[in-house]
Amino acid sequence: MSNQISVPDPNLYVFDLVEKLQNSIKPFTFSSPKDDEELSVQVEQEEEQNKKQETADTTGKVCSYCGTIPETGEPNYLQLHYKKDYHRYNIKRKLHNLAPFSEQEFEKAIGDMDDESISGSDSDESEESDADDKQEEESEHKLTALLNKTNLADNSEDNDTDEPVTLNHTPFFMYTSKDLEDEKVYAIYKNLFDSKYVSNDYRSPEEEYKNNLSALESLNPNGTSAILMLGGGHFSGGIIKHKRLTKQKPNLSNPFADIEVVVSKTFHRYTTRRKQGGAQSTSDSQRGKANSAGSSLRRANEAALEKEIRELLDEWRGHLDNVSSIYIRANGPTNKSILVNYPNAPISGKDPRIKSVPFTTKRATASEIKRVWAELSHAKVQAKPKIVKKKAAGSRPQSATTSATNTKPQQQDPNEVHTKELTSLIKKSKIALLIAYVKKNKINVNEFQLVPASQYSNTPTLLHYAASKGAHNMIQTFLKTLKASPAVTNAAGKTPYQVAGDRATRDAFQLLRSSLGEGPHPWGSWDADAHVGRALTNDDIKERAQRESAEKAQEHAHRIQEMERQEEVRVQHRIDRNFPLTSTGRKVLSSSVAKSTSGKTSLLEMTPEERRKFEREQRALAIEARLGIKK
């Protein structure tokens, strides 16, 4: 029962809920000490005031950190403002997502810390001296101290002032209503609204209230939305109407009966490697292009799936141009590039309507498309969020025991860490990650020794290890990109070529001998030092494969011919044993059977019907011999 899909509550469908509660639903914000009604009245008053200010002449200029700067009569008053500690302090508050201070609030906060001026920024230019640098440094220290005091205000039990808190960290916009309990709110996914209303920038409670109210009013109950899902070779897409089907009622057997799908389509192709996992294209980019039947099939299926999806999106171009939102769930950039931003694509990568699905989804199917829309379009009734007090900066939780805090963690040998990471990358054939790791940690592949030495005595270097594990696709990376030496030896005096685990790895060395040439090389000779076999080309390997294939076919034909000869000898031996040759000839069958077999004495010469008659006669003679019957 745990996997059963629950039936969405039709009373919580967002597009109907907004219309139903149009006069009672209000945005929820952390607007303490003002309640929502006071905030609503304030917002209306601010809007009227803004309209009046638009028609009035404004004499002050605006600072993006401090707000409107009143004109003082001085021609360079804005430049002087930028030099004030008040302005610098608001820059720091902006970086910490805190609301700006007015100049009066700043002066009061500074007065609480120190009765003296924290800098000489307000003094005349004639009072400036060589001590300006020192004063500026002291000013910076005090600004930082004031900011830290502000950040710690929420943790002080004696402080009754709370810093403004937003709901940016949640995926929901929250709304209150008279129809709900006092401690409950409606939670609606932000991705249901236009992207211009969703931002992680700081907003004051008043700004947040107006933004969330505008987002609610912007919902289009008569529009449509698109959902596209792609992953693991499965694609599913659909265009869904915002208006529900009123005649259909959801139930346990069909929980999404009221969702009207304009068009939908589902594709599936075998593109994922079953055992190792991951798409074939990803494996090709990391490990090199495999040459098996399965990999070729997966590549063909990937191309076919991409073609089918793009043809479908082109067919849906008219629908996609008119949708309000496009929800895309695609695993990785490769899958996403199939859906958007390709030449003549109906969906641009910069389209503001593109949104992600803000929760976990299952395999892309037609029913999953409906479930995603039901989850997005239905509000959740949740408890009102509480303001969580943050811990003071620099404070650390006390440990349960003093011994645990005093115990120093044991430092691991860097070579052991490198060995573990590099051998893992070699086993998984992660070529790009291996190169990045070696360069980042400045590892010399010829000098680095795998540890512990007792475990890697036969494969002390990375090239030895890769060769012994049969990582033939990484040999070229080591020799060409990382400049590894194929002449380095292990404790037994063997080179990487000599410890190679299979023929494909030895072929990789011999192919590189052909491409790199006979030298001279810094590490020596291919023959005397590296002990690598003769140089090979791809044509040589193809010819060898054809020659071995022809030899196998010939050997198989000889084996079949020998089996046929042995079978003929065995049959003839049975005839000689059971029907000895007499002076009048060999009596193989009774007269009636002999007549029907036309005097044939070899089973190989008989037809199937004659052979059956012969075998029946043979069994009859054997019975007569056992019973001693004489004719």
* pLDDT tens digits, one per residue of 344-382: 999 988 899 999 998 888 899 999 999 999 999 998 888
Q: Which one has a higher pLDDT value, 23 or 453?
A: 453
In whole angstroms, what is the distance from residue 182 CA to residue 175 CA? 12
In whole angstroms, what is the distance from residue 232 CA to residue 555 CA? 44
**Mutual orientation of helices 431-440 and 280-287 as an angle, nearest 10°?**
40
Least confident of 14-28, 470-484, 593-607: 593-607
In whole angstroms, what is the distance from residue 567 CA to residue 579 CA? 18
Query: What's the pLDDT at 120?
Result: 40
What is the token pair recorded at 6?
A: 């629950």
Query: What's the pLDDT at 102?
Result: 80
pLDDT in tens, 391-439: 444 445 444 444 444 445 566 788 889 999 999 999 988 899 999 999 9
Rg (alpha carbons) of the chain, rounded to whole number: 42
pLDDT in tens, 165-207: 556 678 888 888 888 888 888 888 988 988 888 877 666 677 7
Active-site pick, 280, 286, 412, 554: 280
pLDDT at 387 over 70: no
Residue the block writes with tokens 């890697």: 456
Average pLDDT of span 542-563: 92
**135 is an active site residue:** no
Query: What's the pLDDT at 584?
Result: 54
Average pLDDT in the chain: 77
Query: What's the pLDDT at 100?
Result: 81
Structure-derived torsion over alpha carbons of residues 372, 378, 384, 386, reported in degrees to the nearest 10: 20
- Structure pTM? 0.48
- How far is CA 219 from its chain centroid? 31
Domains, the chain, ranges and CATH? Answer: 60-113+141-149 (no CATH), 224-383 (3.30.420), 418-536 (1.25.40)
Least confident of 68-77, 153-162, 439-448, 491-500: 153-162
pLDDT at 520 over 50: yes
Q: Which one has a higher pLDDT value, 542 or 96?
A: 542
pLDDT in tens, 139-166: 666 666 666 655 544 444 444 444 445 5
**DSSP-based three-state secondary structure for 122:** coil
Q: Which strand (E) or helix (H) includes residue 336?
A: helix 332-339
Q: What is the DSSP letter of 598?
A: T
